[in-house]
Amino acid sequence: MYGSKGRIRGWIDGVLTLPLVLPPTVVGFFLLIVFGRRSFIGQALEHLGFTIAFSWPATVIAAVVVAFPLMYRTALGGFEQVNPTLLEAARTLGASEWRIFQRVLLPLAWPGVLAGTVLAFARALGEFGATLMLAGNIPGRTEHRPSRLPSFRLLRLATWRLRPFG
């Protein structure tokens, strides 16, 4: 999306950032509709021997979909802050677009890309709603950390004993 303008960019931007403004359970429900066993994609994957819904890969897909908008917006901001005259100078020196990206654009936008990665990783770690909808909470199979924390704390409180002094 870097460098493109017009109505299409607005629509693509809106679609890519939609998981950021929707409630996580709505995103999870949408993912369940897309990857469910009765959907076109779900049936095609099942024909190939893969099942996404209520499986371990579903937890990864849900976390990535919910966290992606943070990575996208932050990295895009980093790329847009690069001075375009530096890119034009590299083009006048005969550098290919890939070489310009690799040697000029990415090193200058690196702080934004790194910040987006950290934000997305932190959001993915705390994801609960979409993961619960798509992967479920099957103990020992699709159980995920945010759902285990409250039960772990309750277990710890239940087994805690007062020790006498001395």
Ramachandran category for residue 89: left, alpha or beta (phi over 0 → left; psi -120 to 50 → alpha): alpha
**Distance in angstroms (rounded) separating the CA atoms of residues 103 and 101:** 6
- Residue 140 contacts by C-beta under 8 Å, 6 or more apart in sequence? none
User: What does CATH list as the number for 15-156?
Assistant: 1.10.3720.10
- For residue 100, the Cα-to-chain-centroid distance in whole angstroms is 27
Residue 152 has pLDDT above 70, yes or no: no
Domain residue spans of the chain: 15-156
Q: Quick: pLDDT tens for 40-82.
A: 998 998 899 888 888 888 888 888 999 999 999 999 999 999 9
> How far is the CA of 139 from the CAs of 24, 81, 129, in angstroms?
21, 46, 17
Q: What is the pTM assigned to this prediction?
A: 0.71
| Contact indicator for 19, 68 with CB cutoff of 8 Å | yes
Query: Do residues 148 and 128 touch, judged by C-beta distance below 8 A?
Result: no
